[in-house]
Structure 1
């Protein structure tokens, strides 16, 4: 095990970069130690005699002029002392100080402050010139290689295969994105296996018009450059197991995203009844679980996007993860969509996400691992592109509070136009800037009293919803994964949303309102928030629906 010591030179007290480097090195089985700030050359030599390191990392981030004298003295000592020559010397600083360090020819590696985290990890791993080895070919290894820095994901689906291929090549060469989520057009999602039913007037609506396996292989080939981003794709809305097989064989689908209740008669994004959709969606989870492919079940934000109140969003997050676990999924991607609804306050939004995390991660055991994926809500982005960039940055900063493994970058331009390569690259750079600054040291927003209060409220309310679903059916071993019980929960309105009004299977009677930056079930006639206990007890009492 090689030993690295890190320190700052002269009177420099900026230690965050050094500490982050040592943290990354420790993850790669180096023995690391930070030995101090503002260390003189004379002190460095004494420390080396005592610690006997293999590698010494020096940092200096002040005005470059004083650095000349420090490095002249250091170089002279290295040339005179055999034990100092045997050490690998590293330097990190700002670009002006790094340019000074270049002149002395004593450093094995100089970091200019502009390097991407991937480049730093590649150096630590000794893989600088082995591009393909630097970038793991599956999601979990990619996460492990970078965490606590999140891997970045962005969706992409332009109006032709050719345009999408060109965009993937540009994005891969830019080395700013780890996972490209391919967005097939609506035709492909529903009619890939019965294309005679496609309306070609809608070609390219909603994404790239994928029509053949060869199309998908071309997209995969386009990504085999730069930082070799992984590919994944939407799961489709019909024949989704067949489509899963295609995605695995063509783009090595990084993970599956599938709903539990949706892509059904509930949202009219497919022809399936709610019951059939639940059954098939569970089968898709099991199919991927058997093959050790990670799974994301994206129900929570589907309910919230239709104005279901916060407690339903939290309960849906638990139900989604619970079903994935029971279907044999080992690596679960829990997506946390911030800014839904768009005017939720930051403290209530974070409290909601922490409530979801606590419930979901209560399911973790040796066979079920959870990876957090955060993103901004699309509806929160204004059409003004300058303001949209601010929203992207603000949402990303708030999301860093939950320490995500994956950050799903939403292009700042999406309220104005579909993201092209340049938009994706710029959006990723904005988020990378936020992440870089956040890791210099940040306030722990999760400890805020209002955040914690909202988290605890929502956990209690979500458990009421979950328990009310459990008691609907005593005839089955596990009501939370029983399709008939889950359908009944929707029919009765235990799970409901205002925008489901008029959908036959759903109750569609729930009213919600934003009060003090949080979304609640609301009694419009009496102008009051409806406590969740009162709401679910009334549903159960009035329905006589227990099996």
Structure 2
């Protein structure tokens, strides 16, 4: 639906939390590459890595396993069959940097015709050759490329800002606040080096654990993922994508955003017809428009 990279990461975090809270022991995290088709491979990897790094700590605190499944996005395949074969080979190669447990092979021909048995066999052969090329070639330290590292951190912050607001709508009353949110947006390794003892435990991992802890909600359960709260997130436009088809007027804000490709990234461009610079500004617009959903001290009936 051409959502921003931030929203893509947000969605993965939400799905990981829902799977955990529903009692799943093994969660298949499907990482769909090449969407939108204009995104470049390094930014695609930054997006996937950001999503995985946020929810990976759940595997160390709960009886919970994340199975990474990668695949190419269907709409990224060109209808020219020769070009499509090359695309399948390249997208598979880039996917290997995520060290997937499962590779979902999209038949190269699917933008041209439904896959026949011979197409599926050929697609698997192309994919297996990409595995071999990846395994035998010297691998660059791709995660320390400045472009990748900085984009990954940017996406983690933007996505967790969304998740934090989703928690607030659900009645969250834990340790994370607007005032200290930025203190939590670092890795565990970075926070451990801080001088102040009380700040050494403020990081992405502890933030996520606090946001999903039912004890931090009036109901005693993680109301962040309740059906009513997720429905509300769509109604106020906290969760959104440009190509979401809206029939019910209650959800029209869900599709009121526009994204654009900037330097190989898919970024938020406009929301409700106004230009926004980043995901933080878009979320702030939502909070300022509906403050009573994010602050229990504000009533909708206030002047």
Answer whether TM exceeds 0.5 for this pair: yes
**Which residue of structure 1 lines up, in the alignment, with residue 133 of structure 2?**
437
User: Does residue 157 of structure 2 align to residue 460 of structure 1?
Assistant: yes
The answer as to whether partners of 1:469 and 1:479 remain within 8 angstroms in 2 is no
Distance in 1, matches of 2:271 and 2:12, equals 27
**Which residue of structure 2 lines up, in the alignment, with residue 328 of structure 1?**
23
**Which residue of structure 2 lines up, in the alignment, with residue 448 of structure 1?**
145
2:256 is aligned, of 486, 498, 509, to 509
Q: Secondary structure at the match of 1:371?
A: strand
Unaligned residue ranges in structure 1 (runs of 5+): 1-305
User: Does residue 67 of structure 2 align to residue 371 of structure 1?
Assistant: yes
Distance in 2, matches of 1:381 and 1:459, equals 28
2:228 is aligned, of 479, 484, 488, to 484
Distance in 1, matches of 2:271 and 2:18, equals 34
Q: Secondary structure at the match of 1:513?
A: strand
Task: Note the alpha carbon deviations across 1:297-334, whole angstroms, 9 max, x for none.
Answer: xxxxxxxxx11111011011000011001111001111
Map 1:15-414 → 2, pairs under 5 A: 306-365=1-60, 366-414=62-110
For the pair shown, which has the larger CA radius of gyration, 1 or 2? Answer: 1
Distance in 2, matches of 1:525 and 1:333, equals 34
Distance in 2, matches of 1:386 and 1:347, equals 24
Q: CA deviation at 1:529?
A: 4.7
Task: Note the alpha carbon deviations across 1:8-31, whole angstroms, 9 max, x for none.
Answer: xxxxxxxxxxxxxxxxxxxxxxxx
The answer as to whether partners of 1:321 and 1:332 remain within 8 angstroms in 2 is yes
Q: CA deviation at 1:500?
A: 2.0
Q: Secondary structure at the match of 2:27?
A: strand
Q: Secondary structure at the match of 1:439?
A: helix
Q: For residues 373 and 464 of structure 1, do their structure 2 counterparts lie closer, same or farther at Cα, with a shift above 3 Å needed?
A: same
Which segment drifts farther, 511-520 or 498-507? 498-507
Q: Secondary structure at the match of 1:458?
A: helix
TM-score by length of 2: 0.76
Q: For residues 410 and 545 of structure 1, do their structure 2 counterparts lie closer, same or farther at Cα, with a shift above 3 Å needed?
A: farther
After TM superposition, where is structure 1 displaced by more than 6 Å over at least 4 residues in a row? 524-527
Unaligned residue ranges in structure 2 (runs of 5+): 172-217, 297-303
Q: CA deviation at 1:338?
A: 0.5
Q: Secondary structure at the match of 2:257?
A: coil
User: Does residue 237 of structure 2 align to residue 493 of structure 1?
Assistant: yes
Task: Note the alpha carbon deviations across 1:485-511, whole angstroms, 9 max, x for none.
Answer: 111001111001111253325322112
Q: Secondary structure at the match of 2:23?
A: coil
Q: Secondary structure at the match of 2:127?
A: helix
Task: Note the alpha carbon deviations across 1:25-60, whole angstroms, 9 max, x for none.
Answer: xxxxxxxxxxxxxxxxxxxxxxxxxxxxxxxxxxxx
Distance in 1, matches of 2:162 and 2:247, equals 21
Task: Note the alpha carbon deviations across 1:384-417, whole angstroms, 9 max, x for none.
Answer: 0000000001100110011111011100000001
TM-score by length of 1: 0.43
Distance in 1, matches of 2:151 and 2:110, equals 30
Q: CA deviation at 1:455?
A: 0.5
2:115 is aligned, of 398, 413, 419, to 419
Distance in 2, matches of 1:523 and 1:509, equals 8
Q: For residues 408 and 312 of structure 1, do their structure 2 counterparts lie closer, same or farther at Cα, with a shift above 3 Å needed?
A: same
Distance in 1, matches of 2:290 and 2:272, equals 22
Q: Secondary structure at the match of 1:372?
A: strand
Q: For residues 486 and 367 of structure 1, do their structure 2 counterparts lie closer, same or farther at Cα, with a shift above 3 Å needed?
A: same
Distance in 2, matches of 1:339 and 1:327, equals 30
Distance in 2, matches of 1:525 and 1:417, equals 38
Distance in 1, matches of 2:227 and 2:3, equals 21
Distance in 2, matches of 1:444 and 1:527, equals 39
Q: For residues 362 and 544 of structure 1, do their structure 2 counterparts lie closer, same or farther at Cα, with a shift above 3 Å needed?
A: same
Q: CA deviation at 1:545?
A: 4.4
Q: For residues 529 and 396 of structure 1, do their structure 2 counterparts lie closer, same or farther at Cα, with a shift above 3 Å needed?
A: farther
The answer as to whether partners of 2:92 and 2:130 remain within 8 angstroms in 1 is yes
The answer as to whether partners of 2:256 and 2:273 remain within 8 angstroms in 1 is no
